[in-house]
């Protein structure tokens, strides 16, 4: 950001909905409030000829149709102990988290920790609806919003009246209140000088938290936390840091930057040093275009490339068709088509191929993905198959000299991508230091 005499100091909020999916379900099933509830399990497989029917699916495992009557009592929902099969927890209520379960944990493991937790299937359409609702509520008060997925946003509060005086506390309170009125949901907010610190701050008083932090409080409030709390330090990096005796953010801040660069590379090493000192110049980005679109599925049980050839082939085609449908619906064409395979030992490989002409046609995608499939070893059994398309362009805007619809897929104007809630950003040229994610 160029320093102008009148530039206000930055006040950035990070807003994170509390146990979002689970909280949305509790709006529908209020009688489950206070109970351990987890969202997760496997969505239904796409219809595939000769697909085997699971013999022992517990009653109630099927997704509840929207608007269908709620079960009379909580015993109408399956318990975690009744679940058998693959799948992870997407969200857990705080009551369930008290047993040690958390999102990403395998359901079979979670069942050991909290067998009586109720298991609800995910209803993404409903979560997306509430997501739009809460973002609209925020936009009424603070329009400069960066989307970070279904339950998270950054908000630039810097220019709003009164924010410079109280650091953003009143505006943040108003936003929380507005979301509660509109959606009946709580969230946690951190307000600090930048995105990196706000992301950390929003977690400090969850749920229903509000944490205001000034730059001079980094040493007392941020440094004691584990390095892993920094967005961008994941399991691998934190393990490598731990091996160097670095566990807290304070220890990371005290580490020699030269050593960090030596061990972690120029870019990541320098970023680690900056991040530990709470420095982050990234702007709040209110608009972005997708880079790739993909579809993938994990099988109920591992499949063999030859023995289950027909089933795999039908599944593969179905993934390509759904991908083509996504592209068309969103109004994009893609040039780079790729596949992803996960073997029974969880190792993963990818292959991709770039076409001359961008496409959104299912058959073209299927043919290219089929070529990719010929380049992978198929001796081990498979647990996952995926199809991806990248090098995206807008379906309407054809490259110079090309006909408008090279694949002939669009006979009418394709739908525009959903509107973002805020105006385009002033800056796309980034400051000297561009932080990690």
42 binds DNA (CB under 7 A): yes
Query: Segment contacting DNA (CB under 7 A): 28-36, 63-71, 272-280, 344-352?
Result: 344-352
Q: Binding marks (x or -) toward DNA, 92..131, rule CB under 7 A?
A: -----------xx-xxxx--x-------------------
DSSP 162: T
State how far the alpha carbon of 328 is from the alpha carbons of 132, 325, 411, in Å: 22, 5, 11
Closer CB to DNA, 199 or 221, in the complex: 199
Report 208-267 residues binding DNA (CB under 7 A).
230-238, 265-267
Choosing from 95, 126, 152, 344, which is the catalytic residue? 152
Beta bridge partners of 211: 190
For position 151 contacting DNA by CB under 7 A, the verdict is: yes
Rounded to an integer, what distance in angstroms lies between the CA atom of residue 408 and that of residue 338?
22
Rounded distance between C-alpha atoms, residue 334 and residue 358, angstroms: 5
Decide if 152 is catalytic: yes
- Considering only 164, 313, 353, 393, the residue that binds DNA (CB under 7 A) is 353
Asked if 90 is part of the footprint of DNA (rule: CB under 7 A), the reply reads yes
Q: Which string of x and - marks every residue 372-401 that binds DNA (by CB under 7 A)?
A: x--x-------xx-x-x--x----------
**Residue 348 is a binding residue for DNA (CB under 7 A):** yes
Query: Does residue 199 interact with DNA by CB under 7 A?
Result: yes
Measured in degrees and rounded to the nearest 5, phi and psi for residue 354 equal -100, 125
Decide if residue 63 touches DNA (CB under 7 A). Answer: no
Question: Which region, judged by CB under 7 A, interacts with DNA, from 54-62, 216-224, 289-297, 418-426?
Answer: 289-297
Residues 277 and 275: their CA atoms lie apart, in Å, by 5
Half-sphere CA count of 194, side-chain side, radius 13 A: 20
Within 13 Å of residue 252, how many CA atoms lie on the same side as its CB? 34
- Expressed in angstroms, the distance from the first to the final Cα of the chain is 18
Please give the structure tokens belonging to residue 367.
Answer: 């043919």
CB neighbours of residue 426 within 10 Å: 8
Give 369's DSSP letter: H
Output the smallest distance, CB 406 to DNA, in A. 15
Least gap, CB of 421 to DNA (angstroms): 16
Crossing angle between the packed helical segments 124-141 and 20-28, to the nearest 10 degrees: 100
Contact pick of 102, 250, 263, 268 for DNA (by CB under 7 A): 268
DSSP state of 248: B
Give me the residues that bind DNA (CB under 7 A), please: 42-43, 85-88, 90, 103-104, 106-109, 112, 148-152, 199, 230-238, 265-268, 290-298, 326, 335-336, 338, 345-346, 348-354, 372, 375, 383-384, 386, 388, 391, 434, 436-437
**Residues labelled catalytic:** 152
């Amino acid at each position: 950001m160029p320093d102008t005499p009148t530039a206000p100091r930055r006040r950035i909020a990070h807003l994170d909905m509390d146990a979002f999916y689970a909280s949305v379900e509790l709006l529908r099933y209020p009688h489950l409030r206070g109970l351990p509830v987890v969202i997760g399990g496997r969505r239904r497989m796409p219809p595939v000829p000769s697909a085997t029917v699971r013999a022992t699916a517990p009653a109630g495992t099927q997704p509840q149709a929207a608007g269908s009557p709620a079960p009379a009592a909580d015993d109408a929902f399956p318990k975690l102990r009744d679940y058998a099969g693959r799948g992870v927890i997407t969200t857990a209520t705080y009551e369930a988290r008290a047993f040690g379960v958390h999102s990403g944990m395998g359901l079979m493991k979670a069942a050991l920790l909290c067998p009586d937790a109720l298991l609800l299937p995910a209803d993404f359409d409903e979560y997306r609806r509430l997501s739009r609702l809460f973002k609209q509520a925020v936009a009424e008060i603070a329009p400069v919003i960066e989307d970070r997925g279904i339950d998270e946003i950054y908000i630039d509060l810097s220019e709003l009246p009164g924010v410079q005086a109280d650091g953003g506390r009143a505006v943040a309170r108003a936003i929380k209140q507005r979301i509660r009125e509109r959606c009946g949901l709580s969230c946690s907010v951190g307000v600090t000088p930048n995105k990196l610190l706000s992301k950390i701050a929003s977690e400090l008083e969850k749920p229903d938290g509000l944490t205001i932090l000034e730059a001079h409080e980094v040493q007392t409030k941020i440094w004691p936390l584990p390095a892993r709390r920094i967005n961008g330090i994941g399991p691998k990096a934190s393990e490598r840091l731990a091996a160097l005796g670095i566990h807290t953010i304070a220890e990371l801040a005290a580490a020699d930057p030269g050593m960090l660069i030596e061990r972690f590379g120029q870019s990541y090493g320098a970023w680690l040093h900056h991040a530990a000192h709470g420095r982050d110049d990234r702007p709040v980005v209110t608009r972005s275009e997708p880079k790739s679109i993909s579809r993938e599925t994990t099988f109920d049980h591992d499949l063999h490339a030859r023995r289950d050839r027909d089933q795999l082939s039908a599944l593969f085609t179905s993934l390509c068709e759904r991908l083509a449908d996504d592209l068309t619906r969103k109004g994009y064409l893609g040039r780079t088509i790729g596949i992803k395979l996960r073997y029974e030992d969880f190792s993963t490989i990818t292959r991709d191929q770039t076409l001359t002409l961008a496409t959104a046609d299912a058959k073209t995608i299927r043919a290219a993905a089929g070529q990719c499939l010929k380049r992978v070893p198929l001796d081990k059994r498979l647990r996952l198959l995926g199809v991806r398309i990248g090098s995206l362009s807008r379906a309407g805007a054809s490259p110079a000299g090309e006909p408008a619809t090279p694949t002939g897929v669009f006979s009418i104007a394709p739908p525009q991508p959903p509107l973002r809630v805020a105006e385009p950003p002033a800056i796309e040229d980034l400051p000297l230091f561009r932080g990690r994610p």
